[in-house]
């Protein structure tokens, strides 16, 4: 899947009835999951758009993954299975904090919904018969090293190339500094939910 354009993301979110934040530096964080059901590739996109000081829109998108890695799928993650976040808009999902106490990241503070994939293969199971759970599971927004093995157990992960990850965190810090608001909504769209 090619990088999604701003108009595709914006129209997709609008058609789904998702809230779009339009105050200057009030961040709209999003992910787009590709149609590929086999885990193990950086085949999704994570991004941000926001209104700038001039009233225009800034848009950024980075290669990433919205899926757990093949390693975690085969390991199981928990007795119920590995968590796969469901598409949807999660209001107030994240706040800036520390990912596993190691580095600055977007940490889960709000509720999230996801499937539990427990058959220990490398195919993402997201069908109507899969168990769906809701709650707090440590589904953070953090960086990935380049080898998608241990990087994601269900988190939303930006491939850390060319300063992409630090820029993402800096956008969060800009919102906090400008609006005094350390809470971030995340919207996950499927590839087929993008506008044309």
| pLDDT means over runs of 10, the chain (196 residues) | 96 98 98 92 95 97 92 81 95 95 94 93 88 94 77 87 90 98 98 92
Structure tokens at 128: 């109507």
| Beta-carbon count within 10 A of 76 CB | 15
What residues contact residue 127 under an 8 Å CB cut-off, 6+ apart?
none
So what's the pLDDT on residue 150?
Answer: 66
Q: What is the pTM of this model?
A: 0.95
Structure tokens at 36: 């590929």
So what's the pLDDT on residue 155?
Answer: 93
Spatial separation of the C-alpha atoms in residues 53 and 186, rounded to whole Å = 22
So what's the pLDDT on residue 149?
Answer: 64
What residues contact residue 15 under an 8 Å CB cut-off, 6+ apart?
193, 195
Structure tokens at 149: 């093995």
Spatial separation of the C-alpha atoms in residues 101 and 23, rounded to whole Å = 31
Question: Which 3 state secondary structure label does DSSP give 140?
Answer: coil
Cα 182 from chain centroid (whole Å)? 17
Give the DSSP H/E element, type plus range, for residue 13: helix 6-15
So what's the pLDDT on residue 60?
Answer: 98
């Amino acid at each position: 899947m090619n990088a999604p354009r701003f108009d595709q993301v914006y129209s997709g979110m609008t058609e789904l009835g998702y809230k779009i934040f339009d105050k200057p530096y009030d961040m709209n964080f999003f992910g787009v999951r590709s149609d590929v059901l086999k885990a193990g590739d950086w085949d999704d996109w994570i991004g941000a758009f926001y209104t700038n000081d001039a009233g225009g829109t800034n848009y950024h998108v980075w290669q990433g993954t919205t899926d757990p890695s093949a390693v975690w799928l085969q390991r199981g993650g928990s007795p119920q299975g590995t968590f796969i976040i469901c598409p949807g808009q999660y209001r107030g999902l994240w706040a800036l904090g520390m990912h596993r106490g190691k580095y600055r990241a977007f940490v889960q503070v709000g509720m999230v919904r996801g499937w539990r994939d427990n058959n220990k293969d490398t195919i993402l199971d997201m069908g109507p018969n899969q168990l769906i759970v809701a709650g707090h599971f440590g589904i953070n927004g953090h960086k990935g090293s380049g080898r998608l093995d241990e990087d994601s157990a269900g988190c939303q992960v930006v491939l850390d190339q060319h300063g992409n990850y630090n820029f993402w965190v800096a956008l969060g810090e800009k919102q906090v500094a400008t609006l005094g608001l350390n809470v971030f909504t995340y919207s996950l769209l499927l590839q087929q939910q993008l506008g044309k």
